[in-house]
Structure 1
């Protein structure tokens, strides 16, 4: 702000060369104040408020130097107050009232201006103070909201850390115990263990999704360990985690793809799980070079939802929080591709394209 005022004073030398000495003094004071603001180590939050007092003094000097012409004083005085309102508490704005009024009125009195000109301070000062209080209130509200969001973010990070260290390990143990028990119980009771295993797997996937969100937020992307793997085997292994309904796989046995196996498996599990929850069988998984398609034969998805379906928390429900498809999009983009939803008759097809598919 002071750099701007000093620069404008220097530029005005072209229009008013007769006032060069006064313009140079004003420009020097403005630029000197700006230099102080840049170089001094302001260790306390309210310390830079002293610059405002210097600024009012420079405004008064400018008005006096130009014989009481206050054309530029009013706007810069309001601008100084606005700057202070963005950075300092309300008591500093109130404390500014005396130096601000003195910087405006004193040069007018010294240059013998008419009473109506001097009296303009009774309009300018309340307006400047009112504007400053409004700005300060809004800025304070925004700071409080930012602090609240930072606390929420810290809580979210702590929650995800808890999932990483305190939930995944017990879930793995529970899943292993249930699988051991399933081989020992009568077939008439096996359905209960199957249901428990499905829900345990769902909880594990949810924990993994939340951990992926944390990784993306922290690093900005997901790291891949890409390998050239047989597509048919990869799809078959991924579908082994989905036990709710039969899934038809249409994959060329000779196709090999250049992907991160664990991440690509996660894409298939998330898409098939979404099709099972929201669509109807048959569920068909088709993979050709560079294109994965998971189709259901349900009621489909409205066109208004398809465009934002892969956004974060776009389609949460009682069985999840809406992260699965967003994770799919992130994984597709990490593979150099994209994710989209295409209408079918009947149903919908979730399509993921990726690069570097190889035979």
Structure 2
């Protein structure tokens, strides 16, 4: 029922008019002398509600449900006449119909409603012989209804424009990420080919340098694949993982080979533990956490991998100043940058990959520093 479009508009009107029908039934207890009229009003309300809820309004175009407003005004006029010219309930529902229309239709439809709405309000009052002062209330009610409707329409239009603008920005961002991830592969393939050629004839310290270059080129290629996967998370809401059992100590050791040799990073991992994860994604999580710890914290950075009753636990702790309180609510959000102590996209990626594994990401305070903790379900078959 919530949302925009012909179907949502019709359903919202259906609920509104059914409520009006229920109020007509309640009115029977207050005015038993007009039971037949009130039953007629309730029947009209319920019939109109069923039409609004059941018809395929999408086939009638964007503004098709606007006709429901006209029929709604007619039923309100019938209700006023049924209550003997008492418009205490008609006025509020007339404004509600205008508010509903303002959420879904442009101003010209609201302006076109003015005459039928005024007639629906005045004609029953005239037929029941109401005092001129009562008739004059239309000159107060209708401008108020129009003003409220125009204000709601302007705000709704503003929000729709903002949503369309954000949608275009998101499409541009996704296209840029996809283009970057695809286009970086060709030059990387050339770089890796050059490294492989040089490796065959390299001697002395050059062997180590070329090996480091090849590892970093391979890492960039995996990051490009990761960008594509993260783009798929945004569009499809899930990420396909290639899980298997891996020795935790070996996984951490391989990931640390990409860290600069001068970085003070220490690993404390039991060699007997096995973790059931996607190897590439686990490495991506760990490297992102280490990068953040080195950039925003202070050494030493301690990497731990343990197992307890809740599952496997990866912890990366620094010994820096910790996380500012104002940053905590958005720590794992996209582009959560807050000046020099901000955190970028890396932690959002970590959270998405943790959730894809069935785990979660959290930040735990330490004295000093902070520990980024990622939990994973235990390997299948293990307690």
TM over 0.5: yes
CA separation in 2, counterparts of 1:23 and 1:17? 9
Q: Report the more deviating stretch, 74-83 or 343-352.
A: 343-352
* Counterpart for residue 243 of structure 1: 260
SS in 1 for 2:184: helix
User: How far is 1:91 from its partner?
Assistant: 0.8
2:137 paired with 1:115: no
| Contact 1:316 1:323 (8 Å CA) reproduced | no
Q: 1:183 to 1:351 in 2, by over 3 A?
A: farther
Q: Which residue of 2 aligns with 1:231?
A: 248
Matches within 5 A, 1:194-205: 204=221
| Aligned with residue 159 of structure 1, among 176, 180, 198 | 176
Q: What does residue 344 of structure 2 align with?
A: 322
Q: CA deviation at 1:224?
A: 2.8
Using the TM superposition, give the Cα deviation of residue 206 of structure 1 relative to its aligned residue in structure 2, in angstroms.
Answer: 5.5
Deviates more, 1:174-183 or 1:289-298: 174-183
**Aligned residues between the structures:** 358
Change over 3 Å in CA distance of 1:298–1:184 after alignment to 2 = farther
Question: Given the alignment of the two structures, is residue 87 of structure 1 paired with residue 104 of structure 2, yes or no?
Answer: yes
Q: Specify the alignment match of 1:77 in structure 2.
A: 94
Match of 1:283 among 264, 281, 301: 301
Q: Flag the 1:344–1:86 CA change in 2: closer, same or farther, 3 A.
A: closer
Residues 285 and 350 in structure 2, CA contact (< 8 A), matched pair in contact too: yes
Which residue of 116, 119, 133 maps to 2:150?
133
The equivalent of 1:25 in structure 2 is 40
C-alpha root-mean-square deviation of aligned residues, in Å? 3.3
TM-score of the superposition, structure 2-length normalised?
A: 0.80
Please give the alpha-carbon distance, in whole angstroms, between the structure 1 residues aligned to 2:371 and 2:100. Answer: 54
CA–CA separation in structure 1 for the residues paired with 2:365 and 2:80: 71
Deviations 1:13-32 (A, max 9, x none): 23332211111221222223
Which 10-residue stretch deviates more, 120-129 or 169-178? 169-178
Aligned to 1:339: 361
Counterpart in 2 of 1:220? 237
Q: In the aligned structure 2, how far is the partner of 1:94 from the partner of 1:207? A: 54
Question: Cα 1:182–1:89, aligned 2, differ >3 Å: closer, same or farther?
Answer: same
What's 2:25 paired with?
10
Equivalent position of 1:355 in the other structure:
377
1:88-125 C-alpha deviation (Å, 9 max, x unpaired): 11111111111111111122222222111111111111
> 1:273 & 1:183 partners in 2: Cα distance?
32
1:246-296 Cα offsets, whole Å, 9 max, x none, are 433222233322222222122222122222323344333222332222233
After TM superposition, list the pairs within 5 Å mapping 1:158-197 onto structure 2. 158-178=175-195, 180-181=197-198
| TM-aligned CA distance change 1:197 to 1:322, over 3 Å | farther
- Aligned-residue offset at 1:221: 3.2
| Aligned with residue 51 of structure 2, among 29, 36, 53 | 36
Name which of structure 1's ranges 204-213 and 98-107 shifts more when overlaid on structure 2: 204-213
Q: 1:244 to 1:141 in 2, by over 3 A?
A: farther
- 1:67/1:222 Cα in 2 relative to 1: closer, same or farther (>3 Å)? same
2:272 aligned to 250, 254, 275, which one? 254
Aligned position for 2:315: 293
DSSP-derived class of the 1:245 partner: coil
Deviates more, 1:291-300 or 1:148-157: 291-300
